[in-house]
Amino acid sequence: MAQTLKWMSEKGLSGLEFATGVPATIGGMVYMNFECWGNDVSSMVDSVYIYEKKNGFRWIKRQDYQVAYRWTSFHDFQCIILAVKLNTQPSTTNKVKEKMQQYLSERKEKQPVLKSTFGSVFKNPLPQKAGELVDQLGLKGTTIGDAMISNHHANFFENLDKATFEDTFKLIKLIQNKVQTMYNIKLECEVQMIQ
């Protein structure tokens, strides 16, 4: 992502600046239907080149796969995304860099981007926001082992030093139980777990 944004700014290509500061790959972003602040990567996609065990290599046009909140049809394909064609808008290096800086500042203001995190823990139970529910329960700063609910944004966990999967999992369960009890809402993980 960082390399792509650098390349796009050098070429004066605009459209992906909203993802500045996110440690992701283009394939992962397309697979997860990356979205923030009303921008989503899917609306830029022209086509995706995949390898699928069953059907081999092929290009898929954007209109030939489905997207939803943090989901695409690729979840059902069992495939690897190898390349993506994106539609971009012509701009200038300075304008692209300026937009990147604006998005990075916004992200730094709202999220603990300079800490060790794995991004948002829970999907937003729309129209509610997971972080706001956790915050309302006064859980910011709650720590299990070395995993802490961020004081900066309650839908992020910070690794204070050597947080383990168990620390993180217990913190997830603690939040899910409290949110279920207090609001009767089942918070679903955004992050994918391999157990």
Ligand X SMILES: Cc1cc2nc3c(=O)[nH]c(=O)nc-3n(C[C@H](O)[C@H](O)[C@H](O)COP(=O)(O)OP(=O)(O)OC[C@H]3O[C@@H](n4cnc5c(N)ncnc54)[C@H](O)[C@@H]3O)c2cc1C
Question: Could you list the active site residues?
Answer: 70, 120, 190
Please give the Cα distance from 119 to 71 (Å, whole number): 16
Whichever of 90 and 194 has its CB closer to ligand X, that residue is 194
Burial class (CB in 10 A: 0-12, 13-18, 19+), 183: middle
Whichever of 25 and 164 has its CB closer to ligand X, that residue is 25
Stretch that binds ligand X, among 115-123, 135-143, 159-167, 173-181 (CB under 6 A): 115-123
Residue 138 binds ligand X, judged by CB under 6 A: no
Stretch that binds ligand X, among 26-34, 87-95, 135-143, 159-167 (CB under 6 A): 26-34
Whichever of 93 and 110 has its CB closer to ligand X, that residue is 110
Residue 147 binds ligand X, judged by CB under 6 A: no
Number of residues engaging ligand X in binding (CB under 6 A): 19
Residue 117 binds ligand X, judged by CB under 6 A: yes
Binding mask 36-75 for ligand X (x = CB under 6 A): x---------------------------------------
Candidates 6, 10, 23, 61; binder of ligand X (CB under 6 A) is 23
Whichever of 12 and 189 has its CB closer to ligand X, that residue is 189
Identity of residue 113: V
Place of tokens 């947080």: 163
Q: How far is CA 1 from CA 87, 126, 162, in A?
A: 16, 27, 26
Residue 22 binds ligand X, judged by CB under 6 A: yes
Please give the Cα distance from 40 to 8 (Å, whole number): 17
In the chain the beta strands, taken as DSSP E runs, fall at 13-14, 35-36, 39-40, 45-52, 56-61, 67-68, 71-72, 79-86, 89-90, 143-144, 147-149, 157-159
Please give the Cα distance from 21 to 18 (Å, whole number): 9
Residue 79 forms beta bridges with which residues?
52
Q: Where does this chain bind ligand X (CB under 6 A)? A: 22-25, 27-29, 31-32, 34-36, 80-81, 113, 117-119, 192
